[in-house]
Amino acid sequence: QQQVKQSPQSLIVQKGGISIINCAYENTAFDYFPWYQQFPGKGPALLIAIRPDVSEKKEGRFTISFNKSAKQFSLHIMDSQPGDSATYFCAAGNDMRFGAGTRLTVKP
Amino acid sequence: DGGITQSPKYLFRKEGQNVTLSCEQNLNHDAMYWYRQDPGQGLRLIYYSQIVNDFQKGDIAEGYSVSREKKESFPLTVTSAQKNPTAFYLCASSIAGGSNQPQHFGDGTRLSIL
């Protein structure tokens, strides 16, 4: 029962580059789309979230782009830093189904 | 500071043994969740509770049980019926169940089989 599909599974980016992670969902009733960041040995923490009434939300270096017709949303990390190296999860749904996660490595 | 406390951080289970993972929150949140995390599989929902004395099965509830007798507590029991219990278990809470609510996570319990 995979309601949220996330890609890529892993991503390596040079410092200063742009990291892009994508998610696709199935249920058009979903109305809240958060991204979580998880460091090893820790629980995920909310990074940024969007509702379907807007197509883009930006917080600092992090931007969510939302395409309602395509049922897709993506996370863009501008000027990626080594400290951004973590696993990122998208989520959706009333009881929060999560994507499989993307392990991001930012090389110095 | 408000937050979610999971204990213990590491837990070892013998074959045929039930073990209970603790999750306590002081955020005054109504909804609480349990997830299992395996490498490469993300977070899978085990059980969730939107209100005291009520809970629902998630996608992988077999071999697990929960209780919600108090608002701040949502313990998870991994029973001997769970044949592959080795995983990282995460507890979360949100202000209310349903969508539009961010989840707050604890720092997890890592369960291993002896």
pLDDT digits (tens, 9 = 90+) for A34-68: 999 999 989 999 999 998 889 999 999 999 999 99
Which residues in A lie closer than 8 A to residue B59 (C-beta atoms)?
1, 97
Which residues in chain A are closer than 8 Å to B38, comparing Cβ atoms? none
Angstroms from A52 CA to nearest CA on chain B: 11
* Mean pLDDT, range B15-22, rounded to an integer: 92
Between B6, B40, B100, which is nearest A32 by CB? B100
Tokens of B82: 């769970």
The SS3 of residue A83 is helix
Distances (CA, A) of B15 to A61, B35, B76, B84, B86: 48, 22, 18, 11, 12
Q: Look at residues A12, A43, A11, A24 and name the one whose alpha carbon lies nearest to residue A90.
A: A24
pLDDT band at B102; cut points 50, 70, 90: confident
- For B42, the closest of A43, A93, A101 (CB atoms) is A101
* Residues A6-37 pLDDT 10s: 999 999 999 999 999 999 998 887 888 999 99
**Where residue A77 falls among pLDDT bands split at 50, 70, 90?**
very high
